[in-house]
Structure 1
Amino acid sequence: MNFPARRKSRALLICYGFACLLFGGHTVAQEQALAPLRVNPALLGLPPIKPAEAPVIAPVAPPATADKGPEVKPVQAVVVEPKAVDRAPEASESARARKDTSLETPSHQPRGEGQQAAPVAPVPQMEKQPRSEPQAPTVAQVQSAKPVARQQAQPASRKPAETDKSWFQRVWSPVANAYNNGALEFYLPLKTYHSRSTYSQEQIDSYQENPLGFGIGRGLYNEKGNWEGVFAMAFQDSHFKPSYTGGYQWKAIWRPAEDVRLGLGYLAGLMSRSDILSYVPFPIVFPVASVAYKNFSLEGTYIPPGGDNAGNVLFIWAKWEMGKTGEAIGTPAQPAPPTPTEMANASFGPSTPVTRQRVPYGPVLEPGSTPRLVSSSETVPPVVRATGRRDEEEVPDPLPSLVLQSSRSMVTPPKDSAVSRPVFLSAYRMGGDIDREFNAEGEAELRKIGTVVNADRLTYWPIDDEIEAEGNARLEQGEDLITGPKMRLKLEDQVGFFEQPSYTIKRQPSSGGKAKAETESTALSAEQQDEDSWLTSGFASPQVLDIKPGQTSFDYSKQSPRRATVARGEADRIDFEGENQVRMTNATYTTCEPGNDDWYAKAGSLKLDYDREVAEGTDGTVYFLGTPILYSPWLSFSLNNQRKSGFLAPTFGTSSNRGIELAMPYYWNIAPNMDATIAPRVMTKRGVQLNNEFRYLNTAFGGTYRGELHAEVLPNDRERNGENRYGYSVQHNQAMANGFSGVINYGRVSDDDYFTDLSSQISHTSQVNILQQGVLSYGGGGWWNATANFQQYQTLQPDPENPTLYPYQLLPQFTVTARRPDLYMTDTSFFGQYTNFTIKERTQNVNGVPTVYPDGQRTVLYPQVALPYVTPGWYVTPKIGVNVRHYELSGQAAGTPGSINTTLPIFSIDSGMTFERPSNWFGRDYTQTLEPRLFYVNIPYKNQEQIPIFDSGLADFNFAQIFSENQFSGWDRINNANQLTAAMTTRLIEPSSGNEIMRAMFGQRFYFTRNKVELNASTSTPTEDQSWQKSDVLAAFSGQILPKVYADAAWQYNLADRQVNRFSIGGHYRPEPGKVFNAAYRYNRDPNAPIDQVDFSGQWPLTGRWTAVGRFNFSFKDDATNTSTATQNGRLIESIAGLEYNGGCWVVRGVAQQIALTQDKTSTGFFIQLELNDFSRIGSNPLNLLKRNIQGYSLINQPAADPVFGE
């Protein structure tokens, strides 16, 4: 090859390209700069002005009389005190004259001594006329003004702005103009013709002359009718490898016939090829010719010879111009309308700049005139106004108007004092001293705001505001009702007593002031339970802290509202000890409806404190169906589910692994933002386990932090020869000021069988890797963030027949991501990551084959640039990026290098459209959409077999992955790609609400080149047929098919084998709360993870108050979610069966569960619970189990509180 000749030709091309870029747009810019500006003064509302020399402004004395013409003089800005305007008839004659004739204009900056005033156009004289509305110029005036405007237009040699532009601005200006103002265009490569005189037939046969590719651009026809635009194109080069080019084009256009255009010009830009500089972009300049008809055009460029059979190629492509709305393709652009400044300069000629002073906000007073507010601006020329018409002028207010904003500080005014509240008495007979003691008999009634007292006899003492009621006494306060034979009460102090009362007390949560203050200062909720905490092997369910990102206070007011608690009962005596303080003697307490005493609590002494929303008593017994079921010398529970220290209701159950279990948890409310739960758990087969949970929430470092600490200890496990067993976890989340945040998530257990022996949840028993992680993040930059991650696992081996592979540890991993969606009209992003991978076991058996897992460091850099073009009906987003990876390995297998570098360019185009039409389904009107989408990806092939697999795997083939660039997860494998994904989505949308009723999707991927990248050599299975050209077909459906009936389905079909690879379908029917039925079927033909399962679950009323609950999950082949249960024979994965009985104010639940632990082990458990509405739940809690396994499960009674027994 003749390298000097080749370099010389390329150098000439580069020089020619830069010369065209520098001087290509010079002629057009110069002609536009030399064009004179012409404007009609009448368009500005100005009278015709004849050319005249600008007079020098001199001080003018005030006019002597009002008959003289108006004068122009500056308005002096002064600060005045607001006061009433003096309109006395004895105002001076000169002031009245000025009021009629003087003119006012915004003030100018005072000139220095010797400074010459700028020339100003003369002001036409105005005769004094009666007041009238200003008239617009007549047609005659407009016509007469035109020749005057032409005379005033002064040609210029060139605009100053053009002269001041740098060479880069002159080069970039046409490019930016084409991108900003051009219409969308699509490019399709058609032909690459190699000269038969330059290339041999053998070379031509091996070249790609029908390239695949796509391009996008924007272009316009300028004022001369010539075309200019920008473009980006990706296509196959002659060697079947991806090539990328983009830049600027300019063409002179000839129009021999209507809608026919011939063009000749040049293109200048950058190109990236594999055989030239290894994809490093280099500049190009080529000639361009085109022939076009309406929207379609054929274009081509000639690549001249570059030495030694390089070049001498004709490249042809097709282009489709979208055009601008309302304009025919090829219409020259109209000149932009002149700006007001240009129009003024065209009418009056250029003038010397005058420095103006902004008029201060505030009164501007002309001596002798009425004070008034005016505003001015540096960009608005002075406006001449006649003061005689001041009252008809509208002056814009420079300040924003006042708007009343709502605020939480606006509270309801306090009520009147007690002294001013009147008391009303009514009865058949009344008498006594109205100032001291007043008696009423015979259906007597007393009313005072918030209180009503009825009795046979009433005695009222006004001075003490005290009342005594005898005979059928009845007291109503709010929604509270107490009846009995006798009561005495000080109405204002709420101090008194009631003998032998029957009571009904209904209170909203946090009704007391003190309780409200406590609940608004805390976010800890005793009724919320963490169903996903991995360290839940006991019955004392952990409780979570609810805090949102960025929250810096414990605002409990935003939690979901709770219903009011209605309690009733009887007592020997009730003593009122102040507002919201009630003490009862020998009292009963229940939440059942009147006439129903299925359950009640009886106490020798019971105090209801509605300020703290706590009930406390002594000598307490709980009766159920007339039988005492629980006794305690002390009794304490929450009235409205507020947190308090004490023993939680005991729980019990049974299990085949643990025997009979009993737990008595104690809850310690340490502070509003801190609590703990201590739960001893007795297991007849294993011993006593102590469970502890500690939670906290606080603010520090300008942010918040929260966390949970769990610890479980089982000393001397009798089933494992006295082994001491334990488990603990620490979860801490820290949000700090300036965008910093941190996470600690660390867990550990004593042995491999800890979860299978001591837990009853399949999500825990199948867990084999316990996360141990620390993360520090920074996201305060707004458009970028950084993360430091330290991550490892404790790997358990619960099933020796199916050993678990040890995962890699990330010690450490640093990640930086950035995105600027508006960077020069591009969407630019960057991903950078450094990871140090280490592993506990270097050699592990994979399917019986020893495999070496080396340690190593990996660095990934992935910058990306996208050009999104989005309209209401469609979008196109081309994107290009470069993935750079570097590996430093140690302990690798023989033949693997210690250092590996790889670079891959990645190009993609995402496009889609949305069509809508009205539709009618099942007698209802909907909006139906049709949304086609095309996604093209081009990635060249790179051999990656020597790169170890640290975190990569084959991604699941679904609708989320089909529109991704890489079919592998992680960064160790990036597939080669020349593929197009086509998909179609249709939706049914309810027009009034915008809710999506149904959705159906269909998609497939088409491969233009064979995928050569595999996870490892053993997974490579090349085929000789054409099945690689198409992927499996994906189809999915979800939505409401009938009233209250919802369905989901997914289908993956292999066209080559004509068989279903994956299929799933599920239905959900829920006509009302408490009625739900779910059915699902899942199938996967993958031999490595076969799935053939059915899953049924539901909750349905049987007869009367009985409700059945259950789930049946059976696998005909294998449970793919748990590798430890691998088997080719059918087996039960999990089953639940139970009954619920709703007694009105109580519910009893009995649930049996069986789960698969390993291939040969199962666990069976039984739960039974008695729930007393708004009081207590006694027994083992199956609610978490039912909610987790039955989609749509709901309580058959009203939500209940979790009370506390104890002090």
Structure 2
Amino acid sequence: MPRSLKQHVVVRPRALHLAVLALLGGPVWAQPGQPLPLRDSQVLEEQLPETPQAPTLMRGERMTGRTELETVIEGDAELRRPGMTVKGDRITYDQGTDRATIKGNVQVNSAGNRYTGTEGELQVDAFEGSIQQPTYEFLSNGAQGQAERIDFLDEDRAVIRNATYTTCRRDGPDWMPAWLLRASQMRVDQEEQVGEAEGAVLEFKGVPVPLPSMSFPLSDRRKSGWLPPAIGLDSTSGLILSVPYYWNIAPNRDATLIPTAMLRRGVDLAGEFRYLENDYNGRINANYMPNDKLRGESRWGFFGRHDGTINTGIDAIGQLGFGLNLNRVSDDNYWRDFSRSGLSLTTRLLSNDAAVNWARGDFSMTARVLKWQTLQDVTSPIVPPYDRLPQITGRWGRNNANGGFDYRMEGDFTRFRADSALTNQPNADRGVVFGEISRPWLRPWGFVTPKMQLHASSYQFDRALAGGQTSHNRLVPTASLDGGLVFERNARYFGRGFLQTLEPRLKYVYTPYRNQNILPNYDAGAYDFNFATIWSENAFAGHDRIVDNNLVTFGLTSRLLDPDTGAEVVRLGIAQRYRFVPQQVTLPGRTPADKGLSDVMLGASINWSPTWAFDSVAQYNIKAGNSTRTTLGVRYSPGDYRTVSLAYRRERDLGSQQLDLGWQWPLNDLWGDRGQNLGRGQGQGAGRWYSVGRLNYSIPDRALVDGVLGIEYDAGCWIGRVVVEKLQSSISSSTKRIMFQLEFVGFSRVGSNPLRTLHNNIPRYQYLREEITSPSRFTQYD
């Protein structure tokens, strides 16, 4: 080693930024134009370690050192390694122990996490050590705080003593955060993204809430632990308090236990279990209330779904798909009292369904068992649907085969079972064979598709029909011819260029009449009359009714397309049917269609800009001179967090007229504060009020059917919500509840969570905080 480097040397250039590879004795870095110390190549080769280490880069105003012992940097001292920066007034680096001692204005940046303090020690490579009187800021959620001391266990784990923690941003020297977590000791794990506090107190606006010990997330990553309590007020159950516990069993399994106290009912024990594997996945929800004080009985519900595949081990069969959907509850009133335990408020038909399916090439088969639980309401009874014990279906199809022909065949066997005292019909075994052949001719200017269908069915009843029959066979053919043209031209409206289309369409359908009045109805239902079903060959879904047809359907559609993107800007449509003979086959209690013209379907949709959207559909009765059904909808969305939608629906036959209004809008707009454009999921800045809601109003009844109304306040590091909800639970009663929530951004939420209610009810509702991407460490690069 050259003698000049062995001795204690003081170097004082006027503006020295000397960088020394202190630990390795490898190449030395310097600023441009500054000479490097000469080294003997043989000595360098002897000093290089067997395993290369990350270089340690140091610089400052003054530097002293003893080779292989220590280096002292003073004045804007800085020590760097990949992913880490250490700064201070004075840094003493011990090369033998790889330990740095920092004095004055300590600053440490490790992978984007930043720490400051008065003094500290750090084992550089292992990132072990401590900082006195530190402040800190975490990259993952922007949280910050200060403490008496922080001890680094490694680059991901640390223990912080007498610590504070908040996600509120510092604002001035006398700044005091809106919420603050104080803890006698806090452990943070950046790898698991979890924090644990002992001797904790959570303060909000100066109001303390003692929390002897707690854990909290440092990001959106899942973790086990108690979730914030949910508090709500229900018009039926009274005050409701839930304290959920989340169990992160494995990366592909988790469970949530939800004990809930209802003031007027008692204690409900609920839970959810989820699993996800390569070949299967599922979810199980269940709850049990030992004694419901309002009903005087125990209540329970079970809801499970499983989907997956089964490997048979037989090459000729291969894998089978398997699905299971179970829904069972204790009593008829469950749907009204526990609507948020797994059912929607209108769910009164609970399916219990198991199915096995197989597919290979053009073939597929399904075997299914379906059993219903019907929840009756004396004010609005319903006839239960038929159980299918079992249903076996096979399908074969091939397109563009043998000169462009399309083929399809389907076979179905179903055993229908129900209580005949409720259905007033016999049970039956039904077999169905359905075949179809068509030959489409498709061209840029239009299409023509002739089609033939054959529908065969056979019934075996468990008791005789009114005419004495115990069986019945039916064969119904159908022929159709469908064709349309497409005309295009360039057009310009309101100063904007378009590609305009004119698309006439004509379809003729013939199905001979077969008397089906004696047949019970097991699964047939009338299609809704709309732009899609007006072109269908059969007016009924299911296999128990095949409508007789001798009719032609004609329609005309015109569209304005954006020539650059192809997006549909305007769509106008009209369609109508003409029957050459009156309809004879219909469902019980329904009126058949007369000969002549049907109602006219009129439709218009306009999406002139992303801000405005309009959609309307009307069913107009020419003979009566009025509309049978009308739907009008308009939406105005000028930007993030600003959306208003209004819909009007009328059904003359049912005497129903409803207005549906939904919105999310910043109230600050009323006094001229337009906020900031921070992007989706980031709100519009601190100090913003938002109004949210959806109202469904019945015009004939002059009453609010369903309603959600709420206020959100975004303070930056916390969000407050109050939401009132009213849902119709029967003809004469409704359920009302109030939900309030306090969200500490990046920490936790306290209260009853109304976010799902807002998201499900308000069209285009946006969360005020929604993490889009994980932050990069270069966000706080030093």
Partners of 1:420 and 1:729 in 2: CA distance:
56
Deviation, structure 1 residue 760: 5.4
Matches of 1:862 and 1:888 in 2, distance apart? 18
Q: Which amino acid aligns with 1:592?
A: C
Residue 812 to residue 688, structure 1, CA distance change in 2 (3 Å): same
Q: Which runs of 5+ in 2 are unaligned?
A: 1-48, 312-317, 669-686, 774-782
Partners of 2:201 and 2:411 in 1: how far apart? 66
| Equivalent position of 2:134 in the other structure | 501
Q: Is 1:689 aligned with 2:280?
A: no
1:568 equivalent in alignment to 2:144: yes
Q: 2 CA distance for matches of 1:1068 and 1:999?
A: 16
Query: What's the counterpart of residue 624 of structure 1?
Result: 204
Secondary structure at 2:308 match in 1: strand
Structure 1 partner of 2:414: 835
The answer to whether 1:452 aligns with 2:85 is yes
Q: Following TM superposition, by how much is the alpha carbon of 1:952 offset from its aligned partner in structure 2, in angstroms?
A: 1.1
Structure 1 match to 2:393: 815
- Deviation at residue 983 of structure 1 after TM alignment: 1.5
Deviations 1:609-662 (A, max 9, x none): 112222122112211122213x32222122222222211111011111001010
The residue number in structure 2 matching 1:657 is: 236
In the alignment, does 2:365 pair up with 1:806?
no
Tell me how large the CA RMSD over aligned residues is. Answer: 2.1
Q: Report the secondary structure of 2:376's partner residue.
A: coil
Tell me: CA distance 1:922–1:1164, structure 2 relative to 1, closer, same or farther (3 Å). Answer: same
Give the direction of change, closer, same or farther, for the CA distance of 1:1046–1:939 in structure 2 (3 Å limit). same
**Which residue is 2:95 aligned to?**
462
The TM-score normalised by the length of structure 1 is 0.56
Alignment of 1:219-258 (within 5 A): none
Please name the residue that 1:122 is paired with: none
SS in 2 for 1:1188: helix
Number of aligned residue pairs = 696
Q: Is the 8 A contact 2:530 2:601 kept in 1?
A: yes
Given residue 777 of structure 1, which amino acid in structure 2 is its aligned partner? N
Query: Partner of 1:765: helix, strand, or coil?
Result: coil
3-state secondary structure, aligned to 2:337: helix
CA distance in 1, matches of 2:530, 2:295: 45
Change (3 A) 1:1043 1:716: closer
Contact kept, 8 Å, 1:1173 with 1:1198, in 2: the verdict is no
Question: Quick one: which of 678, 699, 705 aligns to 1:1116?
Answer: 699
2:369 to 790, 803, 807: 790
1:1094 aligns with 2:659: yes
Q: Identify which of 936, 958, 965 aligns with 2:530.
A: 958
Change in Cα spacing, 1:419 to 1:824, as seen in structure 2 (3 Å) is: closer
1:676 aligns with 2:248: no
* CA positional deviation for 1:1007: 1.5
Q: Given residue 968 of structure 1, which amino acid in structure 2 is its aligned partner?
A: F
Asked if residue 492 in structure 1 is aligned to residue 125 in structure 2, the reply is: yes
Structure 1 residue 696: deviation in Å?
A: 1.9
> What is the 5 A alignment of 1:572-583?
572-583=148-159
Distance 2:66 2:413 in 1: 92
Mapping of residues 341-740 of structure 1, within 5 Å: 419=52, 421-507=54-140, 565-595=141-171, 597-629=177-209, 631-699=210-278, 704-721=279-296, 723-737=297-311, 738-740=318-320
Report the residue type matching 1:1100 in the other structure.
W
TM-aligned CA distance change 1:933 to 1:1142, over 3 Å: same
The structure with the largest strand share of the pair is 2
Aligned partner (choices 1082, 1091, 1111) of residue 649 of structure 2: 1082
Aligned-pair CA distance for 1:1020? 4.6
How many angstroms does 1:1082 deviate by? 0.3
Could you tell me how far apart the structure 2 residues matched to 1:785 and 1:417 are?
63
AA aligned opposite 1:965: E
TM-score (normalizing by structure 2) = 0.86
Which digits, 9 at most, give the CA deviation of each residue in 1:648-688, with x for residues without a partner? Answer: 11101111100101010111222222221111100010100
Residues 593 and 671 of structure 1: is their aligned pair in 2 closer, same or farther, counting only changes over 3 Å? same
- C-alpha separation in 2, matches of 1:579 and 1:861: 68
Verify: 1:1055 aligned to 2:622, yes or no. yes
- Provide the secondary structure at the position in 2 that maps to 1:707: strand
Equivalence for 1:979: 551
Q: Residue type matched to 2:502 in 1?
A: L
Aligned to 1:921: 493
Residue identity matched to 1:1187: H
3-state SS of paired residue (2:294) = helix
State yes or no: 1:1068 paired with 2:648: no
Whole-Å Cα distance in 1 between the matches of residues 199 and 303 of structure 2?
39
CA separation of 1:924/1:505 partners in 2, compared to 1, >3 Å: closer, same or farther? same
Give the match for residue 731 of structure 2.
Answer: 1159
Structure-2 separation of matches of 1:1010 and 1:1049? 30
In the TM superposition, residue 714 of structure 1 has moved relative to its aligned partner by 0.9
Return the letter of the residue paired with 1:811: L
In structure 2, the partner of 1:1015 is 587
* Aligned equivalents of 1:874, 1:644: Cα separation in 2: 57
Q: Tell me by how many angstroms 1:434 deviates.
A: 3.7
- Which letter maps to 2:326? Y
Q: Give the direction of change, closer, same or farther, for the CA distance of 1:449–1:698 in structure 2 (3 Å limit).
A: closer
Amino acid at match of 1:715: P
User: Is the contact made by 2:285 and 2:342 (CA closer than 8 Å) also made in structure 1?
Assistant: no
Amino acid at match of 1:772: N
Match of 1:133 in 2: none
Cross-structure match for 2:473: 901
| Offset, 1:1042 | 4.8
Identity %, equivalent residues: 36
- Quote how far apart the aligned CAs of 1:1199 are: 4.4
Paired residue secondary structure (2:344): helix
The corresponding residue for 2:9 is none
Aligned residue for 2:346? 766
User: Aligned AA for 1:903?
Assistant: L
Q: Is the 8 A contact 2:201 2:211 kept in 1?
A: yes
- The one-letter code sitting in structure 1 at the alignment partner of 2:237 is R
Per the TM alignment, residue 1197 of structure 1 is displaced from its structure 2 partner at its CA by 3.4
Which of the two has higher C-alpha Rg?
1
CA distance in 2, matches of 1:1060, 1:586: 72
Residue type of the alignment partner of 1:888: Q
Give the AA of the match of 1:493: A
Residue type of the alignment partner of 1:1057 = A
Deviation of 1:606 after TM superposition, in Å, equals 1.2
1:587 alignment partner AA: A
| Structure 1 residue 878 displacement after superposition | 0.7
Structure with greater proportional helix content: 1
Is the CA contact (8 Å cut-off) linking 1:1174 and 1:1199 kept in structure 2?
no
Tell me which residue corresponds to 1:880.
452
**Tell me, which stretches of 5 or more residues in structure 1 are unaligned?**
1-415, 508-564, 845-851, 1118-1128, 1202-1207
Separation in 2, partners of 1:708, 1:1075: 35
Report the Cα distance in structure 1 between the residues aligned to 2:182 and 2:606, rounded to whole angstroms: 52
Q: What does the per-residue CA deviation read over 1:1121-1162, in whole Å, with 9 as the maximum and x for residues that have no partner?
A: xxxxxxxx4432111221111101110000111121112211
What's the secondary structure of 2:757's corresponding residue? helix
Q: Aligned letter for 1:857?
A: D
Q: Is the 8 A contact 1:857 1:889 kept in 2?
A: yes
Contact 1:896–1:946 (CA under 8 A) maintained in structure 2: no
* TM-fit CA distance, 1:599: 1.3
Name the aligned partner's letter for residue 126 of structure 2: D
